[in-house]
Amino acid sequence: MEKVKIAVLVSGGGTNLQALMEAEARGEIPDGEISLVISNNPNAFALTRAKNFNKKTVALNKKQLGKDLFEEQLINTLKQNDIGLIVLAGFMCILSFNFTKTFANRIINVHPALIPSFCGEGYYGLRVHEKALEYGVKVSGATVHFVNEIPDGGKIIMQKAVKVLEKDTPETLQKRIMKQAEWKILPASTQKVCAMIKKELI
């Protein structure tokens, strides 16, 4: 059977995209192939990373298009490319109910904390780690989950815990969680969901 076609949606530097593409190159996503990388930011370095791996890229400027037209073009682009799984990898846009319903059980996201801690609207980027350190948690980590209309509200696929060190800053904690958790469970979850899609288990 053919591999599941994956679209990775990005907004910035693309470190999680890089981890996904490297995992694919090592043969760790045998049931899927990254066939498209889409950014809402035409200047995102993630697009350069994608081109370095010979991936097809599309930039849809959300600021210019506005939310409704942006989502309409995004849906059309995904459908035209026969995308079976959408991976949000540092994608800084909240998707509408219409979008998540259109691709129900076909969108996954990585969040840099152990959901249900430090998640939901407004919890992204360094803010997640700032709040974790403010709270004084001894363990944080990352979660890959299905995406629905509630920010960080979908069913959990995988989690990995990472120790918080006393001398941590939001930046050092962010880097450790990326290296020890995000870059491992995002490719593994992508493979797991692709295998489920092929077997029509979701």
pLDDT at 202: 64
Residue-wise pLDDT tens digits, 88-125: 999 988 899 999 999 999 999 999 999 999 998 888 88
Q: Residue 98: what residue type? A: N
Reported confidence tier of residue 151, pLDDT bands at 50, 70, 90: confident
User: How is the chain split into domains, by residue range?
Assistant: 4-111+143-156+182-198
Residue-wise pLDDT tens digits, 46-99: 999 999 999 999 999 988 898 889 999 999 999 999 999 999 999 988 899 999
| Entry field: residues in the chain | 202
Q: What is the pTM of this model?
A: 0.95
- From the list 193, 188, 198, the residue with the least C-alpha distance to 27 is 188
Burial class (CB in 10 A: 0-12, 13-18, 19+), 3: middle
Catalytic residue among 49, 62, 111, 131: 111
Is residue 145 among the annotated active site residues? no
The CATH number that domain 4-111+143-156+182-198 falls under is 3.40.50.170
